[in-house]
Amino acid sequence: MCGISGYIGNKDAYPIIINGLKRLEYRGYDSAGVLMYDGAEINLSKTKGKVSALEEITNKDPKRKEGNIGIGHTRWATHGVPNDLNSHPHLSQSGDLAIVHNGIIENYDTLRKELISRGYTFQSDTDTEVLVNLIEEVKKQEKCKLGKAVQMALTQVTGAYAIAVFDKKKPNEIVVAKLGSPIAIGIGKNNKEFFIASDASPFIEFTKNAVYLEDEEMAIIKLGRDIRVRKIMNDLQIETSIQELQLSLEQIEKGGYDHFMIKEIHEQPKAIIDTYRGRMLADQGIIKMAGVDDNLEKFLNAERIIIVACGTSWHAGLVGEYLFEDMARIPVEVEYASEFRYRNPIISSKDIVIAISQSGETADTLAAIKLAKSKGAFVFGVCNVVGSSIARETDAGAYTHAGPEIGVASTKAFTTQITVLSLIALKLAKAKGTLSNSAFHTYLQKMQLIPSKVEKLLQLDEKVKEIARVYKDAKNCLYLGRGFNFPVALEGALKLKEISYIHAEGYPAAEMKHGPIALIDENMPIFVIATNKGHYDKVVSNIQEIKSRSGKIIAIVTEGDVTVKEIADHVIEIPETEEALTPLLTTIPFQLLSYHIAVMLDKNVDQPRNLAKSVTVE
């Protein structure tokens, strides 16, 4: 996935575009580029590396920054290695047209051969350069305007795209289009300026009004004129819907923290409150969730819930499985969206599919949703990004309200996803009568206390940092948990590997003796969740087994624990809560630990190598 940032108006476009690209670097950061039009000439600057590398180039030659119109890009490579030539924007053969693109043109090879036979040559290995030349060829053949040429070219394309196209000969307009990848248009006062971006963060300080294109839509953005949105396939003009943005600048800045990840870890108490605020009325013993209330019969009659997700969201889905089955007694299957979409799964109209995604843009999850819908299942989304593709594609849903998550490693997304899933499970359990009234009320009271307990855990930062210092040079780590905390073990291991590049594996504690126990020696740190409820004695036995093989034990226990404290090398205490809610607490020390290890190892915490915040390609 990649980030697109563009501007057309009366301000200097360069700083707006560059700041926008920096905010979008979570989408990809292996190369960057910007094209400026200064009223007479195009100035194209692009390079392998981050936006800061691009700035080094433009700072040496201020002419590269001139103009009131431009398009920029930060890339996560798909076709062609990250290098200067493959960086966007790409120019057409004549040099008149320029494009930035997020997505993949699947039939690019056929199109490329066709264009080569018509005399086109290519400078890069990208599918994007094929697209801009296809648009140029259509424009030439049809003798039409840019908008029409873009529309006609896109009808020949299979794949996914969000694009912004500029024509030097029509320098007061930019054409944008979307299929599968997001694009938002910020609208300035009286249409005197427009902002184009992959999400609204690049233009939040300039306007609160935005249009989000839907799939197969395109728009011609022209100064002084209302935006016109058309359907790509049949050229029909459709009504433009302008949304008022809720995002604030403060929400997307680091606010004094060194990294977004640690800021987002610390935001969790508030994020959890924001997630249940207005939904969980603990005093009245009610959970109100419009997406569930409106479809309650469907939920109650569901023969099965299938949860589809990827990465951290999949781990939250596993917690969901434990919650739904334990509380509401509904059978649940949790599927990697990438497997589900291709394995010809059995899905029926009696199934409810819950798709979980922070970004709401993950390609595999989106494809799994489309498959489930085509088989007649009711699809419910749990997303963080408002207005995202998954939020729009699902039949109903619940937002997590975590606020923007910029760090590539998911933290507050995970805890707020679990919060939403807990609310749904409790609500269904109450409606089905599978949980007693008193248990239901207890859960609500205990849930209300979770944010202050997370706050308390965050104060253990120094202690966790000390543990991080001891184990930062480990080559391999094992994470063990049982029941509700098995998914937390998986998530702990994922956090460590993705930002510190230390190999880590998560396992159900009892599975250790079926293989991983062979790995244990005096060099192996093993992080074990041993909270006082749910299989405590059995996990203590596992800890003994580790100890007798000289493994280093870092245990997460409940406050007041005595037994594990005597055996483990380090313990971190979490406050007491209901077993089903412990994942909201046990995950916090693991997040802090991964963060500190990555910082100590001097890794790029917010933008780990090879990763992108959301994976909008297969």
Interface with ligand M6R (CB under 6 A): 310-313, 357-359, 362, 365, 408-410, 494, 498, 611, 614-615
Residue number, 74 or 577, with CB nearest to ligand M6R: 74
User: Angle, to 10 degrees, between the axis of helix 583-600 and the axis of helix 461-471?
Assistant: 50
Confirm whether 613 is a catalytic residue.
yes
Least Å distance between CB 259 and ligand M6R? 14
Candidates 391, 378, 371, 392; CA nearest to 298 is 378
Least Å distance between CB 197 and ligand M6R? 18
3-state SS string over 406-458? CCCCCCHHHHHHHHHHHHHHHHHHHHHCCCCHHHHHHHHHHHHHHHHHHHHHH
Of 178, 222, 263, 613, the active-site residue reads 613
3-state SS string over 294-355? CCHHHHHHCCEEEEEECHHHHHHHHHHHHHHHHHHCCCEEEEEHHHHCCCCCCCCCCEEEEE
The CA R_g of the chain, rounded to the nearest whole Å, is: 26
Residue number, 332 or 337, with CB nearest to ligand M6R: 337
Residue number, 313 or 558, with CB nearest to ligand M6R: 313
Residue number, 207 or 312, with CB nearest to ligand M6R: 312
Phi first, then psi, for residue 135 (nearest 5°) are -60, -40
The single-letter code of the amino acid at 167 is: D
Confirm whether 2 is a catalytic residue.
yes
Residue identified by tokens 């949980």 is: 435
Give CA–CA dist 493/469, Å, rounded. Answer: 17
How far from the centroid of its chain's Cα atoms is residue 528's Cα?
A: 28
Peptide bond preceding 62: is omega within 30 degrees of 0, i.e. cis?
A: no
**CB 413 within 8 Å of CB 313:** yes
Q: Which residues pair with residue 221 across a beta bridge?
A: 174
Residue identified by tokens 């085509």 is: 374
Residue number, 230 or 596, with CB nearest to ligand M6R: 596
Least Å distance between CB 490 and ligand M6R? 11
The CA-to-CA distance between both ends of the chain, in Å, stands at 10
Residue number, 146 or 200, with CB nearest to ligand M6R: 200
Helix (H, G, I), strand (E, B) or coil at 72: strand
Q: What is the DSSP annotation of 193-245?
A: -EEEESSSGGGTTT-SEEEEPPTTEEEEEETTS--EEEETTT--EE---PEEP
- Residues with Cβ < 8 Å from 39, sequence gap 6 or more? 67, 68, 171
Least Å distance between CB 498 and ligand M6R? 6
Per the document, the length of the chain is 618
Residue number, 314 or 486, with CB nearest to ligand M6R: 314
Q: Looking at beta carbons, which residue is closest to ligand M6R?
A: 311
Neighbours of 224 (CB within 10 A): 9
Least Å distance between CB 345 and ligand M6R? 19
Of 2, 310, 383, 477, the active-site residue reads 2
Residue number, 366 or 553, with CB nearest to ligand M6R: 366
Residue number, 54 or 413, with CB nearest to ligand M6R: 413
**CB 39 within 8 Å of CB 172:** no
Active site amino acids: 2, 613
